[in-house]
Copies of this chain bind each other. A is one copy, B any other.
Amino acid sequence: MHTKWGRIASDLREAIQSGEYPPGSKLPAIPVLTSRYDVARDTVRDAISALASEGLVTPLRGVGTVVRETMPVALAYSPQAPARIWVQQTADPKATDIVVEVEWEQADSDLAERLHCASGDQVLHRVRHQSKGGGVAQIHHQWLPKNLVDDIQQASNVDLSNKEVEPPTDLFTLLRQAGTDPSEVTETIGARMPHPEEREVMGLPAGVPVLLTYRITRDNAGRPVETSTMTGASDRMTQTFTVPLH
């Protein structure tokens, strides 16, 4: 960088990566840096903002600029571990998976394509907050066609449209009991910066992107039985897939 703030940011970045400021420690205070580099306060602030939006540090009012430490949870997908269950996989005894919203909706054109149904068909929309280490780490939106929800109600006496009811087991097992056999998932993964609301809900520091996962689960006839959109805090989770070749 040829700018002053770029130079300061480089110095600090290098010092962090060399271990001079280990995770959890604090950078020198802004007034210290302004006099050390003989610049205006906002110039130092610009440098620190850059580091914050790279995800290296978190400025805290009244405390200082702390170097970030991250330890993501790994979610695994493989033929051997078909149902991906948050609470089991996080290895955090205090992990939670809470249904925060359930409502009947009419499928829009995008959903209709994902679920292979008609626009306007009734679908059940379930929103879950999956937490770990005291904060929401993933927001899970899930949609199910009405007929499958009815089947599950009849076969297992579980009402998925009532968010107060805790299902006795995972969705895949319920679907099998209802005569549908989920046999393949397709997941598409991307990343982007979070919206302000997402930052709020997940408590994301500046500079942490979200992992986006779009899932379609199909039965043994290739019909979609469920689709999900998941938004996860990338400083707290990763996704792992094991795929056989040939």
Chain A stretch 169-196: residues in CB contact (< 8 A) with chain B: 172, 182-196
* Assembled-state Cα–Cα distance A142/B245 (Å): 19
**Which of A's residues lie within 8 Å of B, judged by CB?**
1, 10, 13, 42, 49, 53-55, 72, 74, 77-79, 82, 172, 182-196, 206-211, 234-235, 237-246
A193 to chain B: which residues have CB within 8 Å? Answer: 53-55, 207-209
Which of B79, B189, B243, B246 sits near A246, CB closer than 8 Å? B79
Specify how many copies of this chain sit in the oligomer: 2
Known: A82-B245, A243-B184. A55 touches B189 (CB 8 A): no
Are A209's CB and B183's CB within 8 A?
no
Are A189's CB and B240's CB within 8 A?
yes
Are B188's CB and A209's CB within 8 A?
no
Q: How far is the CB of A190 from chain B (nearest CB, A)?
A: 4
Q: How far is the CB of A217 from chain B (nearest CB, A)?
A: 8
Are A211's CB and B240's CB within 8 A?
no
Q: List 13 A-B contacts (CB under 8 A).
A: A42-B42, A54-B193, A77-B241, A78-B186, A184-B245, A188-B239, A189-B189, A189-B211, A190-B234, A190-B238, A192-B208, A192-B234, A241-B243
Are A79's CB and B245's CB within 8 A?
yes
